[in-house]
Structure 1
């Protein structure tokens, strides 16, 4: 079999599938059935999905769930979440319900600046370049990108600042144009990258006329590190209000919770898992609303390392008998552009949230992350995380063994009072089927 091919992208969808199943699968017909059963019966809708990316052969489904009862700045939300991991939506919903009667979540967008850079080399005199940038060419960057910025400026956004940064101390002849942008309700990647490429074109053309030395553009690209695109979320209440349905007192729970967060602040091995739990909530909402969860992940984890050591994104304290749990996190999100007007479920998710602005979406997403972390830490410091997680995982195990509806009812009832493990579930299924 020939597992390489020339001109694959030029084949029709059916031709791509035929080549794929015949060259890579032991049972081509079964593989083809799996691929085709996930197609949408609405041909227009399927074509829309086919055109989101290249070489599409089918759709990959993720569960799209909702977590109700989120009180954010005195407004009630039901938050959409797209994720495959069991217990995430349940934990978020439970945390939302817990804080609903304790004042809810409070949020604040601190800043919304985004960053883009033109990376270039210059082997001439650094002082000459600095003077040339400040007194000659800087304004030309703004002027010659006007055709790109006019509409964004009408909405209140645009280019905020452009700096020349000398990085020759870390890499020979290396300089940057470091630009900050405001993109309003758009994530702004295309806008930023277009502006940067115009800056690079202007820089190369003008510098070649006026500077002594070789100036070469390396690349022009936005940054997913957005430490000045920040949102804060927090919850707080009196310690005695932290009543739990466990045998731990409110005071002991608060103290253990704060200690658990402090451990994540100082221990990177714990911090990575701690922050992953936060991202369970954040990624699920980012994905449901058609935003770039990979960009968000990269920026968030870089922010967690901003002081030179990877640390917790959340913080907790007890002061004057008040428990406070909070987080500041960088989130570059958009509610216009991209998939927001194309993907039917994305449109539905945004309508469910009340057609939020980008700032409001930042607040909602941050809250989802904080709620997820609260839920995880509450379990870890009381009953342990496996009890709840494995009960949520029970249905996955039952589906794996193709349990009937009657078997599911019986086994779900049984495991309400028994520990869920894979072997225990298998054992009970076998007993039922004897």
Structure 2
């Protein structure tokens, strides 16, 4: 068992690597080679990557793929996707092509409010707290002018500050609940800076004007943004759903709708259903330098807003029209953070023609809807494994270190045979005699 190390963060990069190698690896040279293989040969670029986080030793790569042919509000996009899971990019591309000749994707941004809160406790009279808040609210705005002036110049800033009484759930607990407009920035640093100034002003004024003990607990933005909403949908006459793998469009539409309805009422299915949506969303969020963990947390909270976890997508059949849509909260940015630092993020954003935050919200929502359409379509027609395992075939062959010649022969074999892990293993063994 290794001993604890003191002052690790103060070591140089090479010293950190040597300590790791000496402490954890039996084949030190192989581990060292692997670390070096993933370094960028451009020293300036590698230094940039080293400074994104702390204690960097090397880079961890994910594939960056593209899904073309997305018609969004009658404009064509090729969408970048960073993800390691087989079939996600293929499924998105297939959905894009399917809907390209059926009207494409229609989207709208419903609202763009973001939220931050100052959490505090107060053991005095609530009515006195209300009067105090009303009195100092203008000063809260005034004291953040230095922080908000640039954002306000662009049309954003602090929208409102509310005092919220949460003492029914937790004794003496209250909030300064604040809404923000951060335009093309995700705005985390901006929001948190404003909140910390609110807290400073609030406690200073409370000491002078308020009877009772008031204590600031914390000041932090919320990743739950139910008023930062975007909607994406597809629709067409039922007969237009007919395609190579949909011979009976009416039956397909009914079965598809039933599958979505199941995800609306059954949480066990809803979780997997929504995970598929997030395959598409996370891949674009990551490729464009945004925070996919924040998006995941906010989206899944939104899926539970009615008190029960449910599907993020919905389907209707009315007057012979098939309609499939998603409405989700997405707090995204196209300026600041990694968007101005990571070269591949800049590349991805340029590919999307340098979208605004609102544009990106719509593109990301479409990626999630497309992914979900492909998954539910497969589930209700051929089954999910046929397409997924064919895409996964090369991963299995790489696990067995198949040669180029072996790959060619086995891929050809499985063009007419069902792909399973055991079937691939058997094919490799038969080929190798």
Aligned to 1:176: 175
- Is the Cα contact below 8 Å between 1:67 and 1:92 reproduced in 2? yes
2:282 & 2:246 partners in 1: Cα distance?
33
Count how many residue pairs are aligned between Structure 1 and Structure 2: 433
Aligned to 1:281: 280
- Aligned to 1:339, the other structure's residue is in SS state helix
Q: Which runs of structure 2 are paired with 1:42-61 in the superposition (5 Å)?
A: 42-61=42-61
Residue 432 of structure 1 and its aligned partner are, at CA, apart by: 1.6
Residue 317 of structure 1 and its aligned partner are, at CA, apart by: 0.6
Aligned to 1:272: 271
User: Aligned-pair RMSD on alpha carbons?
Assistant: 0.8
- Is the Cα contact below 8 Å between 1:3 and 1:24 reproduced in 2? no
Runs of 4+ that moved beyond 4 A: none
Aligned to 1:83: 83
Q: Which runs of structure 2 are paired with 1:412-431 in the superposition (5 Å)?
A: 412-431=411-430
Aligned to 2:139: 140
- Aligned to 1:416, the other structure's residue is in SS state coil
- Is the Cα contact below 8 Å between 1:67 and 1:90 reproduced in 2? yes
- Aligned to 1:356, the other structure's residue is in SS state coil
Aligned to 1:154: 153
Aligned to 1:124: 124
Q: Which runs of structure 2 are paired with 1:398-413 in the superposition (5 Å)?
A: 398-413=397-412
- Aligned to 1:121, the other structure's residue is in SS state strand
1:274 & 1:352 partners in 2: Cα distance?
29
Residues 286/418 of structure 1: CA separation in 2 closer, same or farther (3 Å cut): same
- Is the Cα contact below 8 Å between 2:115 and 2:221 reproduced in 1? yes
1:2 & 1:406 partners in 2: Cα distance?
45
1:418 & 1:242 partners in 2: Cα distance?
27
1:291 & 1:252 partners in 2: Cα distance?
40
1:197 aligns with 2:196: yes
- Is the Cα contact below 8 Å between 1:109 and 1:359 reproduced in 2? yes
- Is the Cα contact below 8 Å between 2:160 and 2:178 reproduced in 1? yes
- TM-score w.r.t. the length of structure 1 is 0.99
Provide, for residues 153-202 of structure 1, a one-character-per-residue CA deviation record: whole Å limited to 9, x for no partner.
Answer: 01110000000001111111000000000000000000000000000000
Provide, for residues 218-251 of structure 1, a one-character-per-residue CA deviation record: whole Å limited to 9, x for no partner.
Answer: 0000000000000000000000011132364000
Residue 3 of structure 1 and its aligned partner are, at CA, apart by: 3.5
Residue 405 of structure 1 and its aligned partner are, at CA, apart by: 1.3
- Aligned to 2:112, the other structure's residue is in SS state coil
1:84 & 1:247 partners in 2: Cα distance?
29
Residue 97 of structure 1 and its aligned partner are, at CA, apart by: 0.2
Aligned to 1:115: 115
Residue 310 of structure 1 and its aligned partner are, at CA, apart by: 0.1
Aligned to 2:351: 352
Q: Which runs of structure 2 are paired with 1:250-265 in the superposition (5 Å)?
A: 250-265=249-264
Residue 35 of structure 1 and its aligned partner are, at CA, apart by: 1.2
- Is the Cα contact below 8 Å between 2:316 and 2:323 reproduced in 1? yes
1:3 & 1:154 partners in 2: Cα distance?
54
- Aligned to 1:245, the other structure's residue is in SS state coil
- Is the Cα contact below 8 Å between 1:248 and 1:382 reproduced in 2? no
1:38 & 1:152 partners in 2: Cα distance?
39
1:81 & 1:247 partners in 2: Cα distance?
27
In structure 2, runs of 5+ residues without a counterpart are none
Provide, for residues 271-290 of structure 1, a one-character-per-residue CA deviation record: whole Å limited to 9, x for no partner.
Answer: 00000000000000000000
Residue 132 of structure 1 and its aligned partner are, at CA, apart by: 1.3
In structure 1, runs of 5+ residues without a counterpart are none
1:388 & 1:227 partners in 2: Cα distance?
35
- Aligned to 1:93, the other structure's residue is in SS state helix
- Aligned to 1:44, the other structure's residue is in SS state helix
- TM-score w.r.t. the length of structure 2 is 0.99
